[in-house]
Amino acid sequence: MAVTPTRTRSRAPIYEGSRIPKPIPTVLTTPPDVLATGDVMTVNFGPNHPSTHGVLRLIVDLYGEDVTGLAAVIGYLHTGFEKNMEQKTWWKCVTYPERIDYVSFQNNEYVFVAAVEKLLDLKIPPKAIWMRTLMCELNRIHSHLVWLGTSALELGAISMFWYAFRERDLILDLFELVTGYRMHTRYFQIGGLAEDIPRGFYPECRSFCEWMPKAIDDYETLLTRNKIWLERTQGIGLLSADDAIALGQSGPVLRASGVDWDIRKNEPYLAYGHVDFRVPVFPEGDVYARYRVHMEEMRESVRIVEQCLARLEEMEGEPWISDDRKVVLPPREELHTSMESLIHHFKIVTEGFRVPEGEAYVTIESPRGELGCYVCSDGGPKPWRVKFRAPSFVALEATATCMRDALIADMIAIVGSLDSVMGEVDR
Amino acid sequence: MTETEAPDEGPFAAVPGVTGVVEAHHETTIVVEPGLLVDASLHLRDELGFNFLSDITAVDYLGWGEAGVSGYLGTPSSSYLPGRDLNAPMTQGYQALPQPKPKRFAMNYHLLKLARFPERIRLQTWVDEDEAVPSVIEVWPTADWHEREAWDMLGVRIEGHPNLRRILMEDDWEGHPLRKDYPIGGEPVRFSGEE
């Protein structure tokens, strides 16, 4: 049973003017008249509080139950990925990005690989393009499920967690079937895919696609019209379209503020220009709108996966990786018979391949929003500089704006709805 | 890259302080003087519609092109032939050094025109260690944390930032980890060795 309440498309602005705090856009300061009452209490929230989605620390000024001041402190999960990648060859770097955002690993892997391919001007076989699209979409569902499970859990809907993680496990099973790993798959290589798609993947993935819409119906039955859920999420964490753009918000947060912007649609990459899907946009700009965007996106992702499957099934026997031997590892079986292949293999594994001098910036629509990767090469086998534009990092900049007039209990809902993964925030 | 000249025409000729427009790897880079960065940003936002700041990346070019750093020419983009011409000169590297850079640090502002016909450009400005970059926080509020990160990781001084503190490293950290002269694995371990 599909539960879809009628959409109210109000054209009225969410609020008048801008709510971004001044002069520091990311710090909400308590007004002096409230401070003068002497009843403001400063509470340290985190970094190890279970409902902060990792190690986020919020310094909150409370006036009774009202949040009057807020500053986010990050950096507790900083692991120096970008510095590490400067010490590794391009080929070895591919394992790093997926650990940055450990929930949407395929998308992170893709953005780095795509940036290197842009510098190399490498042509990717169609089978790899379609399979990458499929994996990225499965990963989007996976990421949204983790978001749904944990955010609902924080607001007291404990059963949602178990339902969401039931389906998440099915997706991880599919990843394991294709790549051998459940997370951090390193399936995308520079030039294509690491391995051909294994036999048995298509029927398994098809049965998942049949099951998933019913599961989403289940979630919506539990939440979409749930009185408690509506009370906890509607009209909370408001962010207008102008403020969202000024604060660099992207992905579900931007679309929940009524901005019809999706890089998959507006600047198509991979096979997104050739598949049919809808971009859900909700104009309310509150936590509930963000929830609705996530749910609709999961449905659309299932549709994209189905279309990718149909195309991939026609591509049986086609190459899955570029045959540029200066960049791509030669097929394993050739190493025993071909001296050339052995040399190429040795050179790529030990020294690494060289990437032309220059800089490239690639952005994709990750589950969390605009994920960018800047790579700079000096023409050698190691990156000179790699930088990730993490959507979670930018999303947390909006906490101060969203937290205007919020109660302490709403804070949990708001931080959850911004969908931050701290690994990506701190990199 | 250093040999750029201010364009006489085109959409970016009127950007204040523009010293060059570079097209490379299907991307447009607009190089401006650091002193006029805010004016250039305002022009790009208000006149040309680049309303969305995607990212700020600072890059340290210390030691760029020194000590046998080699070049590599890939397949030209006009050719759609698969693979590379291995017999062309300079394809094996070691013959070419990278183009020298004008100053030590580059600040890259990746801008997006979030509109029906989107467009992306890179706004670039160059500074040395003792120079400061003006803050663009008034133009795009999202620059707040990006600029703090540039200061924290690479030590690029941002002028006019209301809250320029470390963001990823702890407040009393010494040095800027993403600088090229920052030692790798050099963190002292307490209660080890002679101590």
Q: What is the ipTM of this complex?
A: 0.87
Residues B158-173 pLDDT 10s: 999 998 889 998 888 8
Specify whether the CB–CB gap between B144 and B50 falls below 8 A.
Answer: no
Residue of A nearest to B169 (CA): A75
Token pair belonging to A275? 């598949």
Residues A28-42 pLDDT 10s: 888 888 888 888 999
Largest Cα separation within chain B, whole Å, is 66
Q: Is-cis flag, bond preceding A23, omega within 30?
A: yes
Distances from the Cα of B150 to the Cα of A101, A372, A396, A402, B186, angstroms? 20, 16, 17, 25, 21
pLDDT computed for residue A139 by the predictor: 93
**Model confidence at B82: pLDDT above 60:** no
Specify whether the CB–CB gap between B123 and B139 falls below 8 A.
Answer: no
Q: Inter-chain contact A118–B25, Cβ cutoff 8 Å?
A: yes
CB atoms within 10 A of CB A214: 10
The average pLDDT across A363-372 equals 92
pLDDT computed for residue B97 by the predictor: 64
Query: Strand B132-134 to strand B157-159: parallel, antiparallel, or no bridges (unpaired)?
Result: parallel
Residues B100-143 pLDDT 10s: 788 889 999 999 998 888 899 999 999 998 899 999 999 999 99
DSSP letters along A177-194, please?
A: HHHS-SSS---EETTEES
Specify whether the CB–CB gap between A326 and A344 falls below 8 A.
Answer: yes
| CA-closest candidate to residue A372, choices A55, A100, A76 | A100
To the nearest whole percent, how much of chain A has pLDDT over 90? 36
Burial grade of B31 (CB within 10 A; 0-12, 13-18, 19 or more): buried
Left, alpha or beta for A379 (phi > 0: left; psi -120 to 50: alpha)?
A: left
Query: Strand B119-127 to strand B27-32: parallel, antiparallel, or no bridges (unpaired)?
Result: parallel
Burial grade of B165 (CB within 10 A; 0-12, 13-18, 19 or more): exposed
Which chain A residues are closer than 8 Å to B76 by Cβ?
121
Residues A242-289 pLDDT 10s: 889 999 999 999 999 888 889 998 899 988 999 999 999 988 888 999
- Helix ranges, B36-167 (H): 37-46, 143-154
Q: Inter-chain contact B108–A357, Cβ cutoff 8 Å?
A: no
**Mutation for testing the A interface, residue in B60, B78, B142 having most A CBs under 10 Å:** B142
Residue of B nearest to A248 (CA): B142
To the nearest whole percent, how much of chain A has pLDDT over 70? 96
Cα angle A13, A14, A20 (rounded to 5 degrees) comes to 110
Question: Nearest Cβ partner of B163 from A24, A360, A396?
Answer: A24
Question: Nearest Cβ partner of B53 from A123, A248, A387?
Answer: A248
pLDDT computed for residue A9 by the predictor: 45
